[in-house]
Amino acid sequence: METENQTYVLQFILQGFSEDTEVQSLLFGLFLSMYLVTIFGNLLIILSIISDSHLHTPMYFFLSNLSFTDICFTSTTVPKMLLNIQTESKTITYENCLSQIYFSMLFGLLDNFFLAVMAYDHFVAICHPLHYTVIMNPQVCGLLLLASWLLSVLVSLLNDLMVLRLSFCTALDIPHFFCELNQVVRRACSDTFLNNLVIYFTSGLVVIPLTGILFSYCKIISSILRISTAGGKYKAFSTCGSHLSVVTLFYSTGLGVCLRSGATQNSRTNAVASVMYMVVTPILNPFIYSLRNKDIKQAFKKLRNFHPRKGYFVSSLQMCT
């Protein structure tokens, strides 16, 4: 009899940030600009790494993957939000909501794993420089990349499948600008014990990359302090300075979202906090790496000064043949 009172959900309503039309127009321009800068900045890093053979190293290999993940991470939520503002509609279909849950979690987890792998790469480069090429060989890099993708895909798929088992009746308004997993689960009218258990398991999984990062940097700092010269210390620190800045930004904003979500379960302040985590962090990463990394700056200059000529294509074709 209980199932007869439950209805199939066709769509959810994303409340977003504000009902004011003027504020909506301002938000549209702001988020569109931020989204375009995020896409352009991260694409520029990817193209620079691909085009410069000096950057074909494990560190920049994982940086290019991180930039790709940031593009996808932002693209899972911002385009739909911009479309809703432009069309003055707040609805999202059940299928699209599930897709947002899956892909936002997938690329969020990938960010965690890639940052941990990059920390490990810095640890090997600074603490074991003589064995770096042996330890971080192409096979190991490929396995680390594959493991990151497999774990992220499986965990995201598990959470998405757990949402499929839920029934929704009323209260389908989501005080967010995208379908956030916790908010969707809270609006179910069926038992959510297993869903919450899986969510806690996922949250615990995020601690593993963070633990690896902290362990790596403890070893890195210890090694840097043992360097006798100031120039050596500066060179070692500059190697991981950009990554450390990105890690600090990513986990501080992510922790802020978790704390805010726990304190205010039904408030739009959760959405504002999530903007820092899902929009601001991906847009700042290219600036952090380009401003603090000399290799990336040089690659940008080479990419900017690159002018393909007929002779270049002729010589390239001759090499291919």
Could you give the domains of the chain?
A: 8-306 (1.20.1070.10)
Q: Please give the pLDDT value at position 266.
A: 46
Identify whether the C-beta of residue 100 lies closer than 8 Å to the C-beta of residue 72.
Answer: no
Say which DSSP state 83 is in. Answer: H
Please tell me the distance from the alpha carbon of residue 104 to that of residue 163, in angstroms, as a whole number.
14
Q: What angle do CA 309, 310, 313 make, to 5 degrees?
A: 95
pLDDT digit string (tens) for the chain, length 321 residues: 344 444 455 788 888 777 777 788 898 999 999 999 999 999 999 998 998 888 899 999 999 999 999 999 999 999 999 998 888 888 899 999 999 999 999 999 999 999 999 999 999 998 998 999 999 999 999 999 999 999 999 999 999 999 998 988 766 888 888 998 988 998 888 889 999 999 988 888 888 899 999 999 999 988 888 877 777 777 777 778 788 888 888 888 777 666 655 555 545 666 777 787 788 888 888 888 876 677 787 777 777 765 544 443 344 334 343
Q: Give, in order, the Cα–Cα distances in Å from 191 to each of 152, 174, 175, 201, 203.
A: 26, 19, 21, 18, 20
Q: Please give the pLDDT value at position 140.
A: 95
- Nearest Cα residue to 14 out of 71, 74, 77: 77
pLDDT digits (tens, 9 = 90+) for 262-300: 555 545 666 777 787 788 888 888 888 876 677 787 777
**H or E segment and range at residue 12:** strand 11-14
